[in-house]
Amino acid sequence: MTITFVGHGYVGLVTASVFADLGNKVYVIGHTPKKIEDLKKGLIPFYEPGLSEMVKKNIERKRLIFTLDYKPSVSDSDIVFIAVGTPPQKTGDAELNSVFEVAKKIGENLKNGYTVVATKSTVPPGTNRRITQIIKESKSKASEFDIASVPEFLREGTAIEDTLKPDRIVIGTESNKARKLLIDLHKPLAGELSESFPNVLETNLETAELVKYASNSFLATKISFANAIAKLSELLDADGLTVLEGIGYDKRIGREFLYPGPGYGGSCLPKDVKALLSIASDHGYDFTLLDEVEGINQQAKRDIVRKVKRILGDIRDKKIAVLGLSFKPNTDDMRDAPSIDIIALLQKEGANISAFDPQAMENAKKIFQNVTFCKDIYDAVKDTDALVLITEWNEFKEVELKKIKKLMRSPNIIDSRNIFDPKTARSLGFEYLGVGR
């Protein structure tokens, strides 16, 4: 099958590469000449395990084609995916101008025949109706199309695996022809599943659009609930991690995302919670539950700083090492990373910050001022008064705590991800604080 992705961010580039790897001819359209030229050389603009190798392989096999031109790509395709960003506005609403601009260009370049236009961008319910109208107004009379909403559910750091082995495939469309074509495209992802595709949810446009917002907001709710239980457990001298483990054994609840920490971040959860709040408000519904989810998330970041102050007292002129800057491991993504607010709060109190992250340093340098970026973990902790662990990279779990203690001025650990064993840390002479412990 021949398909096109408009947009080469996480969603567009990863999904396009996977479909190319499955044997399809895949065009990827961008609008920045430099980025397209870099992609043609196999240079990836972000870190995602395994993606660089997959892109280079499929460029060599001429299955993955990067271009600035809509004409040959859209005109040649059976399915065209819209995969451009929908960043939040100050109001929380999704910015949709890029989506609508792309829809117009797609309409102008549709082939004389039939094409499915499928939206992978996260958009509010009703957006695909607007896209339909824009394409109708811009297309030629000889071209026919149907619209579909096919939201993505990728996790940064495991995006290729998530694309190849999805939990579910949501197809929102009112056209049986479009539905069949999209199911045919996704069949290789079904693995051992039967021809009936039990993991495919077939629905209308608005339902498919809302599924993505609802899914991410529910995950954010689980994280904030875990942080609230952790906070309460500390006040009651209970073991919050064991409480959450006990909750997670219930099959109706599940263990995933029930881990306390410094709050959620990244490109999806903060944005989609705000967007769903805005969507609800626009329709007269006061979604107070999500207001509290956001509030708890902000408090989780402040609580990490309070723990630093609990150990050190006045932190003015104290040197603090921050390990982990990206919002999660296995990515260099700094969007809404908890480290941003935590470092800002520490600096506001007068602390001096040294930092290390295995992948996100270059992106972090664009955000932080007056932070000393270090070459490795041990360089970061040298002569510091406290170590604050924010991102749970695997290499941090294997650090030599004895060596760290010798390098630090004062042996204090604030472990926001609970990756160190408290008994081991304390037996070595560290003052240790985790979350919920």
What CATH number corresponds to the domain at position 135? Answer: 3.40.50.720
The whole-number pLDDT of residue 199 equals 80
Q: Tell me the CA end-to-end span of the chain in Å, nearest whole number.
A: 53
pLDDT value at 192 more than 80 = no
Both 155 and 269 in one domain: the answer is no
Are the CB atoms for 258 and 248 separated by under 8 Å? yes
What count of other Cβ atoms lies within 10 Å of the Cβ of residue 363? Answer: 19
Q: Which domain range does residue 366 map to?
A: 263-433
Q: Which residue has the tokens 């995302």?
A: 257
3-state secondary structure 309-378: HHHHCCCCCCEEEEECCCCCCCCCCCCCCHHHHHHHHHHHCCCEEEEECCCCHHHHHCCCCCEEECCCHH
pLDDT interval class at 191 (50, 70, 90): low
Q: Per the structure, how many domains does the chain have?
A: 2
Residue found under tokens 């630090």: 408
End position of a domain, from candidates 157, 182, 203: 203
- Residue 104 CA to residue 301 CA, distance in Å, equals 42
Instruction: Give the whole-angstrom CA distance, residue 65 versus residue 81.
Output: 15
Residue length of the chain: 437
Shared domain for 56 and 169, answered yes or no, is: yes
11 and 157 fall within a common domain: yes
Q: Which of the following is catalytic: 13, 159, 181, 268?
A: 268
pLDDT mean across residues, the chain: 95
Which tens digits make up the pLDDT trace of 196-231? 555 889 999 999 999 999 999 999 999 999 999 999
Are 274 and 371 members of one domain?
A: yes
**Cα separation of 373 and 312, whole Å?**
22
Measured CA distances, 7 to 56, 158, 292 (Å): 18, 20, 34
Q: Is residue 228 part of a domain?
A: no
How large is the greatest C-alpha to C-alpha distance in the chain, in angstroms? 77
Q: Which has the closest alpha carbon to 170: 218, 231, 104, 120?
A: 120
268 is annotated as an active-site residue: yes
254 belongs to a structural domain:
no
Instruction: State whether 194 and 111 are in the same domain.
Output: yes
Pick from 203, 224, 243: which residue ends a domain?
Answer: 203
**3-state DSSP helix/strand/coil % of the chain, to nearest 5:** 45, 15, 40
- Judged on CB neighbours under 10 Å (0-12, 13-18, 19+), 201 is middle
Instruction: Report how far apart, in Å, the C-alpha atoms of 6 and of each of 3, 135, 138, 217, 278 are.
Output: 10, 15, 17, 26, 26
Q: Quick one: 196 and 49 in the same domain? A: yes
- Please state the rounded mean pLDDT for residues 291-302: 97
Among 203, 235, 251, residue at a domain's last position: 203
Cβ-contact 388, 261 below 8 angstroms: no
Question: What is the per-residue pLDDT across 364-378, written as a single tens digit (0 to 9) for each?
Answer: 999 999 999 999 999
Q: Measured between alpha carbons, how far is residue 204 from residues 103, 289, 297 in Å? A: 19, 26, 33
Interval 222-244 mean pLDDT:
97
Q: Assess whether 273 and 405 both reside in one domain.
A: yes
Over the stretch 343-367, which tens digit does the pLDDT of each residue have?
Answer: 999 999 999 999 999 999 999 999 9
- 284 with 148, same domain: the answer is no
CA 209 to chain centre: 17
Task: List, for residues 73-85, the tens digit of each pLDDT value.
Answer: 999 999 999 999 9
Whole-angstrom Cα distance, residue 131 to residue 288? 31
- Is the domain of 60 the same as that of 178? yes
Residue 241 lies in a domain: no
Residue with tokens 């899914």: 215
